[in-house]
Amino acid sequence: MTRRVKRKLSHLGKGVENVDSNSAISDGGGLHLETISDLDWTTFPDDAVIQLFSYLNYRDRASLSSTCRTFRIIGSSPCLWESLDLRPHKFDIETAVSLSFRSKNLRKLKFRGTESADAIIRLRARGLREISGDSCWDIADATVSVIAARHEMLESIQLTSNACERISTDAIKAIALCCPKLRRLQLSGVREVSSEAINLLARHCGHLLDVAFMESDAVDEVALGNLTSVQFLSVAGTRNLKWGLASEVWSKLPKLAGLDVSRTDISLSSVRRLLSLSGNLKVLVVLNCPTFESEANNDTIHVRKGKILLTIFNDNLKAIASLFAETTQNEGNTVTCGRKLKIRDRSMDEKVLWIEWVISHSLLRIAELNRKELDAFWLKQGAILLLHLLQSSEEDVRERAAAAIATFVIIDDENAPIDSRRAEAVMQNGGIQLLLDSAESFKEGLQSEAAKAIANLSVDSKVAKAVAEIGGIKILSNLARSLNRMVAEEAAGGLWNLSVGEEHKGAIVEAGGIKALVDLIYKWPSSSDGVLERAAGALANLASDDKCSLEVVIAGGVHALVMLAKSCKFEGVQEQAARALANLAAPGDSNDNNTAVGKEAGALEALVQLTYSQHEGLRHEAAGALWNLSFDDENREAIAAAGGIVALVSLAQSCSNSSQGLQERAAGALWGLSVSEAISVAIGQAGGVAPLIALACSDVTDVHETAAGALWNLAFNPGNALRIVEDGGVPVLIRLCTSSPSKMARFMAALALAYVFDGRMNDIEQAAPSEGVLKSLDIDRVKKIALRHIQSFVHSFSTSQTFATVVSSSTRTTLTRVAEAARIPEAGLLRCSADEIGRFVAMLRNQSSILKACSAFALLQFTMPGGRHSGHHASLLHDAGASRILRATAAAATAPIETKVFAKILLRNLEHNHSEAS
Q: Which run of H or E residues covers position 566? A: helix 557-567
Non-local (6+) Cβ contacts of 30 within 8 A are: none
Per-residue pLDDT of 540-554, as tens digits, reads 999 999 899 999 999
At 330, is the secondary structure helix, strand, or coil?
coil
Per-residue pLDDT of 672-697, as tens digits, reads 999 999 999 999 999 999 999 999 99
Enter the DSSP assignment of 81.
G
Q: Is 436 a residue whose pLDDT tops 80?
A: yes
Query: For position 299, what pLDDT does the model report?
Result: 55
Q: Is 788 a residue whose pLDDT tops 70?
A: yes
**Considering the chain, what is the average pLDDT of its residues?**
85
Q: Is 114 a residue whose pLDDT tops 90?
A: no
Backbone angles phi, psi at 159, to 5 degrees: -135, 75
Per-residue pLDDT of 848-868, as tens digits, reads 889 988 998 999 999 988 888
Non-local (6+) Cβ contacts of 229 within 8 A are: 202, 205, 206, 207, 208, 209, 255
Residue 875: HSE in the Cβ half-sphere, 13 Å Cα cutoff: 11
Name the range with the highest mean pLDDT among 329-343, 521-535, 617-631.
617-631
Angle between helices 513-523 and 472-479 (to 10 degrees): 20
Amino acid (1-letter code) at residue 69: R
Pairing of strands 184-188, 232-234: unpaired
Query: For position 629, what pLDDT does the model report?
Result: 95
Integer angstrom CA distances of residue 847 from 78, 531, 852 = 98, 64, 8
Per-residue pLDDT of 175-189, as tens digits, reads 999 999 999 999 998
Q: Given 3-state DSSP classes, what are the helix, strand and coil percentages for the chain, each rounded to the nearest 5? A: 60, 5, 30
Integer angstrom CA distances of residue 646 from 639, 642, 721, 755 = 10, 10, 20, 25
pLDDT band per the 50, 70, 90 thresholds, residue 232: very high
Q: Is 38 a residue whose pLDDT tops 70?
A: no
pTM: 0.84
- Measured CA to CA, the distance from residue 472 to residue 460 in angstroms comes to 14
- Measured CA to CA, the distance from residue 769 to residue 762 in angstroms comes to 13
CB contact burial 802-826 (16+ within 10 A = b; e otherwise): bbebbbeebeeebbeebbeebbbee
Helix locations, 461-556, DSSP H: 461-469, 472-479, 485-498, 502-510, 513-523, 529-543, 546-554
Per-residue pLDDT of 773-787, as tens digits, reads 555 567 788 888 999
Query: For position 370, what pLDDT does the model report?
Result: 85
CB 432 within 8 A of CB 426: yes
3-state SS of 428-478?
HCCHHHHHHHHHCCCCHHHHHHHHHHHHHHCCCHHHHHHHHHCCHHHHHHH
Q: Is 650 a residue whose pLDDT tops 90?
A: yes
Q: Is 21 a residue whose pLDDT tops 50?
A: no
Per-residue pLDDT of 98-110, as tens digits, reads 777 777 788 998 8
Cα separation of the two ends of the chain: 48
Mean pLDDT across 30-51: 59
Query: For position 916, what pLDDT does the model report?
Result: 64
For 595, counting Cβ atoms within 10 Å of its Cβ (0-12 exposed, 13-18 middle, 19+ buried), the class is middle
Mean pLDDT across 2-30: 34
Mean pLDDT across 120-147: 86
Closest CA relative to residue 358, chosen from 426, 273, 256, 287 = 287
Closest CA relative to residue 4, chosen from 19, 16, 29, 21 = 21
- Measured CA to CA, the distance from residue 282 to residue 354 in angstroms comes to 12
Q: Is 31 a residue whose pLDDT tops 50?
A: no
- Measured CA to CA, the distance from residue 910 to residue 874 in angstroms comes to 6
Mean pLDDT across 351-363: 93
User: How many residues can be counted in the chain?
Assistant: 918
pLDDT band per the 50, 70, 90 thresholds, residue 327: very low
Q: Say how many C-beta atoms besides its own lie within 10 A of residue 140's C-beta.
A: 18
CB 191 within 8 A of CB 212: no
Ranges 54-68, 192-206, 274-288: which has the least confidence: 54-68
Mean pLDDT across 603-617: 96
Q: Is the dihedral of CA 798, 801, 804, 805 positive or negative?
A: negative
Q: Is 342 a residue whose pLDDT tops 50?
A: no
Non-local (6+) Cβ contacts of 714 within 8 A are: 674, 680, 683, 684, 688, 689, 692, 720, 721, 723, 724, 752
- Measured CA to CA, the distance from residue 565 to residue 610 in angstroms comes to 8
Query: For position 343, what pLDDT does the model report?
Result: 35
Q: Residues of the chain with pLDDT > 90: what percent? A: 54
Q: Residues of the chain with pLDDT > 70: what percent? A: 86
Q: Is 834 a residue whose pLDDT tops 70?
A: yes
pLDDT band per the 50, 70, 90 thresholds, residue 423: very high
- Measured CA to CA, the distance from residue 801 to residue 898 in angstroms comes to 11
Closest CA relative to residue 217, chosen from 198, 194, 197 = 194
At 622, is the secondary structure helix, strand, or coil?
helix
Amino acid (1-letter code) at residue 392: S
CB 436 within 8 A of CB 464: no
- Measured CA to CA, the distance from residue 90 to residue 94 in angstroms comes to 10
Query: For position 364, what pLDDT does the model report?
Result: 94
Query: For position 27, what pLDDT does the model report?
Result: 39
